[in-house]
Amino acid sequence: MLTRALGVLTAVAALLASVVVGVANAHGSTTDPPSRNYGCHQRWGSNFQDPTMATKDPMCWQAWQADPNAMWNWNGLYREGAAGNHQAAIADGTLCSGGRTQAPRYNSLDAVGAWQAATKSRQFTLTITDQARHGADYLAVYITKQGFDPTRQALGWGNLEQVIRTGRYASAGTYSTAVNAGSRTGRHIVYVVWQASHMDQSYYLCSDVIFQ
Ligand SMILES: [Cu+2]
């Protein structure tokens, strides 16, 4: 009897593991410049219990402490059914968690502070990696207005200016677009809405950058 129960438990555990792996292999994110959780996964995924992260990369540290699944599922930060009305779906202060989607998994990505930022020139190429090959109806790319300080202020729609909205992309592993940040300098957030094509599924992605 005990052996049978253990057998069932083992089967359930194997099933759960396969579900988790399945989720981790689906969907995508902005990989260049890296989104907050993708960047934390890149830098610390193989070393996420290293206590020096607390001082070397404190925003990633708080994210790993809050919920490691925000990093393991770096490709799962989406909402469904926004019907194109992203500003209604996502409240100010929650833009980087996709409006606290799948809460509380991604809430830590809204934390205000000195996220590690990628250095970019003001004309750069942005790349989404799409492991699920959903395609894109469009990528809408926004950048914070000059003067906004992401290390001290929560991000709201009023802090952003849309710099490009692309056309469609056929299903592929990556989608790239040229982005012109104008005369911006210093630290900014690049905010991407990736509207997938297979269904009404929208990804909301914050990438921290420093423009040279
Ligand atoms: Cu997906």
How many angstroms is it from 104 CA to the middle of ligand 1?
19
Q: What is the reported pLDDT for 7? A: 53
Q: What is the reported pLDDT for 94? A: 98
Q: What is the reported pLDDT for 112? A: 98
Q: Report the distance separating Cα 97 and Cα 99, nearest Å.
A: 5
Rg of the chain's alpha carbons, rounded to an integer? 18
pLDDT digits (tens, 9 = 90+) for 109-142: 999 999 999 999 999 999 999 999 999 999 999 9
Q: What is the reported pLDDT for 38? A: 98
Q: What is the reported pLDDT for 86? A: 98
How many angstroms is it from 88 CA to the middle of ligand 1?
21
Q: What is the reported pLDDT for 5? A: 53
Q: What is the reported pLDDT for 26? A: 75
pLDDT reading at 17 higher than 50: no
How many angstroms is it from 69 CA to the middle of ligand 1?
16
Q: What percent of the chain has pLDDT over 90?
A: 88
How many angstroms is it from 63 CA to the middle of ligand 1?
22
Residues with CB under 5 A from ligand 1 (ion): 27, 132
Q: What is the reported pLDDT for 25? A: 52
CA distances from 52 to 48, 55, 58 (A): 10, 6, 9
How many angstroms is it from 135 CA to the middle of ligand 1?
10
Kindly give the pairing relationship between strand 118-120 and strand 201-211.
parallel
How many angstroms is it from 20 CA to the middle of ligand 1?
14
What is the rounded average pLDDT of the residues 44-56?
98
Average pLDDT in the chain: 92
Q: Are residues 155 and 144 in contact, defined by beta-carbon separation less than 8 angstroms?
A: yes
Domain edges within the chain: 2-211
The token duo for 38 is 């993708």
pTM above 0.85, yes or no: yes
Instruction: Determine the CATH number of domain 2-211.
Output: 2.70.50.50
How many angstroms is it from 202 CA to the middle of ligand 1?
9
CA distances from 199 to 35, 81, 127 (A): 22, 9, 21
How many angstroms is it from 91 CA to the middle of ligand 1?
22
pLDDT digits (tens, 9 = 90+) for 170-189: 999 999 999 999 999 999 99
How many angstroms is it from 22 CA to the middle of ligand 1?
11
Q: What is the reported pLDDT for 15? A: 46
How many angstroms is it from 162 CA to the middle of ligand 1?
24
pLDDT reading at 151 higher than 70: yes
Kindly give the pairing relationship between strand 136-144 and strand 174-180.
unpaired
